[in-house]
Amino acid sequence: MMQIIFERTGGIMGRKVSVSLDLDEMPSDQSTTLRRLVDESDLFTLDEEPIKTSRPDEFIYTITITTKTIQQTVRASDTSLPESLRPLLNELLTHTG
């Protein structure tokens, strides 16, 4: 199993967007893409909170991934984002309302 909770806050509008996904319940093409991007993001090796202080109006992203054996939360902002996370974030954004 794999669940992903994704949230984006901040930005000049301060508007939150979020989505909660259960990959087992999704169409397989979508969940396959997400599993690949999670793998490629090296998310499980990242610091939980790389943000020191956020810059005015930048977005703040929070991703929590839960599997059978592990749960990991990563928080990052536009200026502190590890490049490996970007493709996953962009994919997750397409799932938000």
Partner 1 sequence: MSHRHSILCILPPYMLEQIAQRGTSGQRQTAARSIAASQQIRNKRRGLSLATFRGALHARMAATTLKQRAVYSANFSTQLPGTLLRGEGDDPVSDPAVNEAYNGCGDTYDVFSTAFGRNSIDNNGLKLISTVHYDKGYDNAFWDGEQMIYGDGDEDRPSTERLFNRFTVSLDIIGHELTHGVTQYEANLDYNNQSGALNEAISDIFGSLVKQYKLGQTAAEANWIIGDGLFTANVKGVGIRSLKAPGTAYNDFVLGSDPQPAHMRDYVTTIEDNGGVHINSGIVNHAFYIMAAELGGFAWQKAGMIWYTALTEKLTSGSNFQNAANLTYEAAAQIFGANSLEQKAVKNGWSQVGISITGIGSEEPTPTPIPDPIPVPPVSVPEQGQGCMTVLMRAFGLRK
- Which residues here bind Zn ion, judged by CB under 5 A? 56-57
Helices (H), 1-97: 28-41, 86-95
DSSP secondary structure code for residue 66 in this structure: E
Q: Give me the 17-46 binding string for partner 1, x by CB under 8 A, dash otherwise.
A: ------------------------------
Question: Helix (H, G, I), strand (E, B), or coil: what is residue 92?
Answer: helix
What is the C-alpha separation between 37 and 17, in angstroms, rounded?
Answer: 20
Among 12, 45, 48, 52, binds partner 1 (CB under 8 A): 12
Give the footprint of partner 1 on this chain (CB under 8 A).
9-16, 53-60, 78-79, 86, 90, 93, 97
